[in-house]
Amino acid sequence: MPDSFISGGGAAGLSMADWMDAEIPEGRLLIGPTRAIPAGMRRYALGGPTCSPIWRDARVIKYLHGLDTIGRLRLRRVVQGVDFRVSDMQLIDQAMRDLAMGSLSAFLIPRAIAPLSPPPVDPPRHDQGDEDPPGQPAQWSVTDRVVATLRRCVPLLPREMQQAAKSLFTRETLYWLAGFLVVWAGGHLAGYGEAIDVILLGVGYAMVGWSVFQGLNDLGHGIALATTAKTQHDLDEAAKRTAAGLTILTINAIIALIAKVKPASGGKRPMVEEPPPPPEPVRPPPREGIPEPTAPAKAVEPPREGTRSLADLMAQRKALAKNFYEQAGWSERRIADHLKGIDFTKPVDVVTLPEGTSVVQHVLPGGKVGNYFAPPGTPASSLGINPANRVPTMFTLSQDTQVLRSTAAPVQDTWTVPGQVFDAEGGGTQYFTTNPSNFTQVGL
């Protein structure tokens, strides 16, 4: 399996939240701790064996020296061992030394590319509509295995995504898409891998932020498993991992990828069905001798920028959260109650908190450890709960743990103190986990 998609290659989670992230003419520049690099990202490292040394990279030097006040404050959080007594120039010098020594890394994700021509694809060896080929997957072509995996992953997606995926995954489109994904997961040959990364990262990052790297890793790992599948069970396992990646990346990322496909001659480019444009209004011919009235000028309505995109974002974030709760085996009613505690106007993502991470939970005396934790110092009221009678209790993680990260919504707490309504303002970062036993109370 390619190094790009080996599990555990880095945690696309808490550690990446403080990374430097900027748009430069060549693409998106990322700078952060080397230990936090997520799987699938190393191929974009600056200063590699084929590049000039990182401390001589003009793009990095120009970016660091051009930071504004807020940017320099963020850099202080990234560079270890500096405080506010260190001057700005000393800070930048230390950052360059850390880059040279390897404790910091810099990455450049290039800008979007032109439409792609598909790589060679094994043609289907059967003609059975939407059914699998005969025999076991070990006897199928690699493309057939990936197509079967993509079909199997549709029922595993959140309900909100299933219908869109069914409409999108026609037989013809599946084989085009499979050809790209096979090359992508198989080692990024002939430039296809990097090009697909750019498309998926460009859309996925805008939708789900840093979680896009976890989504890429899951998708790539699932496709890599599919290419080597020998049994139906192998395909089922590949479909689970693929569905996890698609859930994070969103169906919009796959639509963007398909939109870049330029099929070979004779093929038809897959399109997302759109409603036909409204017909032009029919105007009666002017009556002879009577001048046609001039229509009054209409006021130009200001564009409602972001309205639809925010609604789409909120729907996608809600689907991601709901799917995470469903994987915990929760009932629809229980899930609905907990979704009310999330502010979906803010980012929602699935991240991996590394072993040793410190968190806080506001525990009621004699109560059991719950499923929600927060960064140290987060007050109870910003987590949507009444602080009365609660004790802020510190925990540390005994192992890497996947959590749902979100922002608490303002709610009325009626359960902490029976008969009392407390208006909690929300706004704090919260982590939901299905494995609270991985969190060890400090001091016990």
Establish if 436 belongs to a structural domain: yes
Establish if 269 belongs to a structural domain: no
Whether residue 141 is found in the same domain as residue 211: yes
Residue 309 CB contacts under 8 Å (≥ 6 apart), including other chains:
none
Domains: count for the chain: 3
Q: How far apart are the first and last CA of the chain?
A: 41
Residue 250 CB contacts under 8 Å (≥ 6 apart), including other chains:
161, 203, 204, 207, 208, 316
Give residue 267's pLDDT. 41
Whether residue 141 is found in the same domain as residue 254: yes
- Written as six digits, the tokens of 7 are 């599990």
pLDDT class for 404, splitting at 50, 70, 90?
very high
- Written as six digits, the tokens of 380 are 């109870």
SS3 11: coil
Could you give the C-alpha distances from 34 to 15, 50, 99, in angstroms and in order?
A: 10, 19, 9
Q: Quick one: average pLDDT of 24-38?
A: 77
- Written as six digits, the tokens of 436 are 């609270």
CA proximity to 213, closest of 23, 412, 5, 419: 5
**Tell me: the pLDDT tens digits for 149-162?**
999 999 998 887 88
pLDDT at 282 exceeding the cut of 90:
no
SS3 413: strand
Question: 37-46, 64-73, 386-395, 397-406 — which is least confidently predicted?
Answer: 37-46
Give residue 202's pLDDT. 60
Distance CA(261)–CA(255), nearest Å, equals 10
Q: Identify which of 187-191, 198-202, 362-366, 426-430 has the greatest average pLDDT.
A: 426-430
Determine the residue type at 396: T
Q: Quick one: average pLDDT of 90-101?
A: 90
pLDDT at 272 exceeding the cut of 60:
no
Whether residue 15 is found in the same domain as residue 74: yes
Whether residue 146 is found in the same domain as residue 103: no
Give residue 408's pLDDT. 92
pLDDT class for 361, splitting at 50, 70, 90?
very high
3-state helix, strand, coil in the chain (%, to 5): 45, 15, 40
pLDDT class for 301, splitting at 50, 70, 90?
very low
Torsion of Cα atoms, 207 then 209 then 210 then 211, to 10° = -40
Give residue 351's pLDDT. 87
Distance CA(220)–CA(6), nearest Å, equals 9
Give residue 229's pLDDT. 93
Torsion of Cα atoms, 395 then 397 then 401 then 403, to 10° = 20
Distance CA(86)–CA(76), nearest Å, equals 9
Whether residue 9 is found in the same domain as residue 94: yes
Give residue 328's pLDDT. 81
Domain boundary among 228, 243, 259: 259
Give residue 199's pLDDT. 63
Establish if 64 belongs to a structural domain: yes
Give residue 304's pLDDT. 41
Whether residue 95 is found in the same domain as residue 141: no
Give residue 102's pLDDT. 85
Question: 4-18, 34-48, 120-134, 356-370 — which is least confidently predicted?
Answer: 4-18
| 357 close to 429: Cβ distance less than 8 angstroms | no
| 374 close to 439: Cβ distance less than 8 angstroms | no
Establish if 253 belongs to a structural domain: yes
**Tell me: the pLDDT tens digits for 251-271?**
666 766 666 554 443 344 333
Q: Quick one: average pLDDT of 45-52?
A: 67
pLDDT at 28 exceeding the cut of 70:
yes
pLDDT at 128 exceeding the cut of 70:
no
Torsion of Cα atoms, 412 then 414 then 416 then 419, to 10° = 140
Whether residue 352 is found in the same domain as residue 436: yes
Whether residue 151 is found in the same domain as residue 216: yes
Give residue 117's pLDDT. 52
Distance CA(202)–CA(208), nearest Å, equals 11
Give the orientation angle of helix 211-227 with respect to helix 142-153, to 10 degrees.
Answer: 130
Whether residue 160 is found in the same domain as residue 253: yes
Establish if 21 belongs to a structural domain: yes
Establish if 131 belongs to a structural domain: no
Domain boundary among 63, 91, 110: 110
Residue 209: domain span = 137-259
pLDDT at 2 exceeding the cut of 70:
no
Better-scored residue on pLDDT, 365 or 131: 365
| 395 close to 370: Cβ distance less than 8 angstroms | no
Distance CA(123)–CA(126), nearest Å, equals 9
Distance CA(208)–CA(256), nearest Å, equals 15
Whether residue 61 is found in the same domain as residue 170: no
Give residue 268's pLDDT. 42
Establish if 62 belongs to a structural domain: yes
Dihedral sign from CA coordinates of 366, 367, 368, 369: negative
pLDDT at 364 exceeding the cut of 60:
yes
Residue 271 CB contacts under 8 Å (≥ 6 apart), including other chains:
none
Establish if 124 belongs to a structural domain: no
Residue 153 CB contacts under 8 Å (≥ 6 apart), including other chains:
222, 239, 240, 242, 243, 246
| 20 close to 46: Cβ distance less than 8 angstroms | no
Residue 14 CB contacts under 8 Å (≥ 6 apart), including other chains:
351, 353, 354, 357
What mean pLDDT, rounded, does the chain reach?
A: 75
Better-scored residue on pLDDT, 97 or 171: 97
| 30 close to 109: Cβ distance less than 8 angstroms | yes
CA proximity to 429, closest of 332, 343, 354, 362: 343
Query: SS3 sequence, 251-293?
Result: HHHHHHHHHCECCCCCCCCCCCCCCCCCCCCCCCCCCCCCCCC
| 58 close to 24: Cβ distance less than 8 angstroms | no
Whether residue 250 is found in the same domain as residue 345: no
Determine the residue type at 77: R
Better-scored residue on pLDDT, 112 or 22: 22
Whether residue 99 is found in the same domain as residue 145: no
| 350 close to 214: Cβ distance less than 8 angstroms | yes
Domain boundary among 225, 259, 293: 259
pLDDT class for 290, splitting at 50, 70, 90?
very low
pLDDT class for 33, splitting at 50, 70, 90?
confident
Distance CA(444)–CA(440), nearest Å, equals 8
